[in-house]
Amino acid sequence: MSDPISQELFARASKVIPGGVNSPVRAFRAVGGEPIFVKEAHGPVLVGADGTEYIDYVGSWGPMILGHAQPDVVSAIQRAAEKGSSYGAPTESEIVMAERIRDAVPSMEMSRLVSSGTEATMGAIRVARGFTGRDLIVKCIGGYHGGADYLLVKGGSGLATLGEPDSAGVPAAIAGTTLVVPYNDAYALEKIFTERGKEIAAVIFEPVAGNMGCIPPDPVWLAALRTQTQNHGALLICDEVMTGFRVAWGGAQSLYDIRPDMTCLGKIIGGGLPVGAYGGKREIMQKVAPVGPVYQAGTLSGNPLAVAAGLETIEQLLRPGVYEDLERKGDQVQALLEQHAGAAGVPITVQRVGSMLTAFFRGKPVRNWDEASDTDREAFARWHAALLEHGVYWPCSPFEAAFISLSHDADAFEKTGRAFKAAFAAV
């Protein structure tokens, strides 16, 4: 239950903002109740409107890998702001960002900065269509790649089917340019390429699914993605908006030895400010205007504040032992979940890749959307409410990944353990 001040703010917001929130995932509808309004955050802690502190495992849905208000990042933003908040002209820092991205993610020989993950996926797909001269794209059932019309589709239960709109306002003709397959299903992918391969411009996929919960990829699935796209002249787009610089320095593609044609980044490369990037092989990116025929533009692309925050964040992640530390912290949270769920007799399956994880309220592993949706949503809602009561802010959906930051420390984990114990007892 949210605090009285948050309730008052939510009632006020609902009069002027649809649903009282500026993104549906913040609305708490999946767990009941009303959202906590935040007034500030520092390190691993969110401070609610009434002053209550919560150990945060949302991290602005991924980008706060260093923790909130990390001093060096704050200083970088302040220095940049003193020189101007936006120019609408190129800067050297944009070049440095593109070089850092290329060095960390070698598949991104060239990249274009944008202002959000949605813009990044839209740009990548437009380039893929322009490069191949084809119209169709393939995505996974349960995979989220932003709010573009042709990405808001739902898949149904077939092995492979034409997409249907998953949102009002999306023309069926546009949704029909998207084909969907189950995540981790190499057979379904092969089948759809056999049937429509000459029409498919690209497959876009999350190397670690994050919007149906944290689901690692099967090696056979990854091999099929590369084989099928290469054999049929389609591009492979790796959506690392969530996993880029999160699960490893070079992203999930470095962990799993994925060789994509294009990659989308976001979140961490902005250090908490709005940002995105798409890029890939030079021959593909040379299709982008002004040197090529594929038009894409943005007034705030490469915003100096966002780039400054992102560059400082990336610099911090270069320190020795950072990802080993994140792995240890991720392992500690997973152990706490499993320990207290087991003690309370609550069946869960924790799936984790580095510092992102999900506790599925079912006793079996999860490989795709159908299995993810077979979770005890009512138990999760009770657990989530109890966590809030005991000072832990967890994603308000059973189908979202939680994130751990470098700022989570022994005190944060001690409080988290106590909250887990109480919350599983309340299930």
In the numeric block, the tokens 């490069």 are attached to: 131
Number of residues written out for the chain: 427
φ/ψ of 367, rounded to 5, equals: -120, -15
Which contacts (CB < 8 Å, 24+ apart) does range 170-179 have? 174/149, 174/150, 175/149, 175/150, 177/135, 177/136, 177/137, 177/150, 178/136, 178/137, 178/138, 178/139, 178/150, 178/151, 178/153, 179/136, 179/137, 179/138, 179/139
Give me the DSSP letters along 188-207.
HHHHHHHHHGGGEEEEEE-S
Give CA–CA dist 243/171, Å, rounded. 31
In three-state secondary structure terms, 1 is coil
According to DSSP, residue 61 is labeled G
Strand partners, 46: 41, 54
Which residues does residue 177 pair with via DSSP β-bridges, in sequence order?
A: none
Residues labelled as active-site residues: 144, 239, 267
Nearest CA among 59, 251, 283, 376 for reference residue 359: 376
Residue of 257, 316, 275, 292 whose CA lies nearest to 98: 275
Q: Which two tokens mark 398?
A: 């059973």
Tokens 């809030």: give the residue.
388
Backbone angles phi, psi at 129, to 5 degrees: -65, -40
Q: At what angle do helices 186-196 and 219-231 cross, to 10 degrees?
A: 10
Closest CA to 171 of 157, 158, 156, 153: 153
Torsions phi, psi for 358 (to 5 deg): -140, 140
* Ordered DSSP codes for 236-276: EEEE-TTTBTTTBTT-HHHHTT---SEEEEEGGGGTTSS-E
